[in-house]
Amino acid sequence: MRITSPRVEVFGGRPRRGGAVLASVLVFCVLILSAQAPARNRQGSVLQSWILTAAAPLASAVSTVSRAATGAADAVLETFSARSENVLLKKELAEKSRELFQLRAELDQVARERRLSAAPVLPRVVGTAPVLLVQRRAGLYGALVGAGSRSGVVAGSPIAVAEGLVGRVVTVGRGVSRVQLLLDASAAAGARIVRTGELGVVRGDGRGALTLNNIPTASRVHAGDFVESAGIDGIYPRGVPIGRVESVSRGSDLFLEIRVRPAAPFSRLTDVLVLAPSPAAVESLGGSRRAGS
Amino acid sequence: MRARRIALLLLAATVLQFFLGASRHRGAWPVDWFLIATAVVARGGNFTRAVLAGASAGFLEDALGHDLLGMNAFAKAAIGYVLAVISVRVVFGGALAVGGALAAASLANDAIVAALARLLLQAPIVLFSFDSLSRAAATGLAGGLLEAAWRFSWREWWEKRRLRRLR
């Protein structure tokens, strides 16, 4: 049989060995996936860690070249757009000044609340790391950062930027680590609405936004409220900004549907802070290692 | 296509993925280079190589940025097979067809990964998100442009240009 059209010709060919190879590869993938699935919330597999370690030199070299190239291109473009940008920056500065005034007032309030609840100080920063790669597929958000076990990074280390929480390390290589971003559809963090003090769970919706769950319908939360990590999940430390409430609507019978705009600029992450893991995370990691050994 | 060429192709895809991924403007051009590498191998019409190249590309992608090793390998092996079937049975006549096929393959890749993530991670199924559509568009466009560049008779163009200059 042969069908011909101006752009496309169709033949009646038949795959031979390919079907068998495909079936074996798919079965192999299913076996590998099944073997990993139960351990997904602890830490990445040893194989993944090895691959990350092997990829580290290539990743670092290519990202250095990429950063240099994009930096040079940006510098050239910025020269042309400097004047118009100056006007915009002046406007932005005025807005930021107003925002700063409001934030200082909120900060005072938060500091007062912290003193009252004797909260621990913000976590120690282990170091900074460049973002080498961000992968977004089917609601799964991951990133590679250029710091590994050599720099003191361990699985479970929270990742943040100055603006807010970014995610946590799941697999550690020697010079590169893999991070699950907070936007990932299977990521979650204990959260607290600063103004009302209510606790909930922030989850990634897999589409670039966050939802705040488990806040009762009787809550006084409204758009613009500041949300921070609550330190109740044993992974993320307390008091790191997560975002601001974008919209509140009535959800199911018991809880509100709250959308949160992330504080961290996920679309243009360049460098991140690696924080010291919470004692609970270190303990559970040690426990799982002891159980494994 | 020889195994060495396939390895070089996968290396090039990895380098491009890192090169664009490290940039601040990574969201502007979210091409799935591993899918393009798989499609290039599948175009040769060898089913075994297409499946193995797809699986290797998927494994690399999983190792570099995903929760579970094997999700993209599963998807890309299947897509490699389908693209090999298409390349054996259908002769595409232009960049538009190649771009369209790659965009559809990118969406299919996302759908398979979403289904596996649902099964294995209990993650909500996210289909046709902005990320997914923009990646499909960028991959299709990049594939179409590469096809057009591959098919373009550069030598003739260069000769014509040289003759025009001499006149």
Q: What are the 10-residue block averages of pLDDT along chain B, 167 residues in total? A: 87 88 78 93 89 92 81 93 88 82 94 89 82 92 91 88 84
- A46-55, A171-180, B12-21: which has the minimum mean pLDDT? A46-55
Cβ under 8 Å to B: A residues 202-261 = 205-208
Which band of pLDDT confidence, cut at 50, 70 and 90, is reported for residue A3? very low
The answer to whether the pTM exceeds 0.80 is no
Which band of pLDDT confidence, cut at 50, 70 and 90, is reported for residue A114? low
pLDDT of residue A291: 42
Q: Do B51 and A58 touch (CB under 8 A)?
A: no
Taking CB atoms and an 8 Å cut-off, how many pairs form between chains A and B?
220
% of chain A with per-residue pLDDT over 90: 16
* pLDDT > 70? residue A175: yes
Q: Do A74 and B24 touch (CB under 8 A)?
A: yes
Tokens of B85: 């079937």
Q: Within a 10 A sphere around the Cβ of A97, how many other Cβ atoms? A: 9
Helices B130-151 & B33-42, crossing angle to 10 degrees? 50
* Chain A residues in contact with B116 (beta carbon < 8 A): 33
Flag whether residue A134 sits within 8 Å of chain B, measured between CB atoms: yes
* pLDDT > 80? residue A8: no
| Dist. CA A163–CA A269, nearest whole Å | 11
Using DSSP's 3-state secondary structure scheme, residue A231 falls into coil
Which band of pLDDT confidence, cut at 50, 70 and 90, is reported for residue A15? low
- Helix/strand/coil percent split, chain A, to 5: 40, 30, 30
* pLDDT > 80? residue A293: no
Tokens of A103: 């934030």
Strand arrangement, sheet containing A2-4: A2-4, A9-11, B90-91
Ramachandran class of B104: left when φ > 0, alpha when ψ lies in -120 to 50, beta otherwise: alpha
* pLDDT > 80? residue A117: no
* pLDDT > 80? residue A256: yes
pLDDT of residue A13: 47
A116 Cα to chain B: minimum distance (Å) = 38
A166 Cα to chain B: minimum distance (Å) = 15
Nearest CA in chain B to A58: B15
Q: State phi, psi for A136 to the nearest 5 degrees.
A: -130, 115
CB-based contact A227:A189 (threshold 8 Å): no
Q: Do A143 and B65 touch (CB under 8 A)?
A: yes
Q: What is the pLDDT of residues A192-210, one digit of tens each?
A: 999 888 999 999 888 888 9
pLDDT of residue A245: 93
Domain locations in chain A as residue ranges: 44-293
* Chain B residues in contact with A17 (beta carbon < 8 A): 47-48
Which band of pLDDT confidence, cut at 50, 70 and 90, is reported for residue A286? low
Question: Which of B15, B69, B78 minimises the CB distance to A26?
Answer: B78
CB-based contact B92:B148 (threshold 8 Å): no
Flag whether residue B123 sits within 8 Å of chain A, measured between CB atoms: yes
Q: Do A268 and B121 touch (CB under 8 A)?
A: no
**Domain ranges, residue B141:** 3-166
| Dist. CA A128–CA A141, nearest whole Å | 20
Question: Which of A52, A66, A137 minimises the CB distance to B23?
Answer: A66
Tokens of B54: 């797809």
Q: Within a 10 A sphere around the Cβ of A268, how many other Cβ atoms? A: 12
Using DSSP's 3-state secondary structure scheme, residue B129 falls into coil
Cβ under 8 Å to B: A residues 268-287 = 268, 270
CA angle A176, B115, A19 (to 5 degrees): 95
| Dist. CA B68–CA A35, nearest whole Å | 10
pLDDT of residue B112: 93
Bridge partners of A117, per DSSP, are: none
A158-161 and A271-275 as β-strands: parallel, antiparallel, unpaired?
antiparallel
Domains identified in chain B, total number:
1
Which band of pLDDT confidence, cut at 50, 70 and 90, is reported for residue A1? very low
> Average model confidence (pLDDT) for chain A?
80
Of A180, A185, A182, give the one whose Cα is nearest residue A207: A185
pLDDT of residue B93: 66
Q: Do A15 and B72 touch (CB under 8 A)?
A: no
Question: Which of A21, A58, A268 minimises the CB distance to B18?
Answer: A58
Q: Do B68 and A135 touch (CB under 8 A)?
A: no
| Dist. CA A70–CA B25, nearest whole Å | 8
Q: What is the pLDDT of residues A89-102, one digit of tens each?
A: 888 888 887 788 77
Using DSSP's 3-state secondary structure scheme, residue A119 falls into coil
* Chain B residues in contact with A12 (beta carbon < 8 A): 89
* pLDDT > 60? residue A292: no
Question: Which of B69, B88, B114 minimises the CB distance to A48?
Answer: B69
**Alpha helices, DSSP H only, in chain B?**
3-21, 33-42, 47-65, 71-89, 95-121, 130-151, 154-166
Using DSSP's 3-state secondary structure scheme, residue A190 falls into strand
CB-based contact A274:A257 (threshold 8 Å): no
pLDDT of residue B69: 84
CB-based contact B52:A25 (threshold 8 Å): yes
Cβ under 8 Å to B: A residues 98-127 = none
User: ipTM score here?
Assistant: 0.78
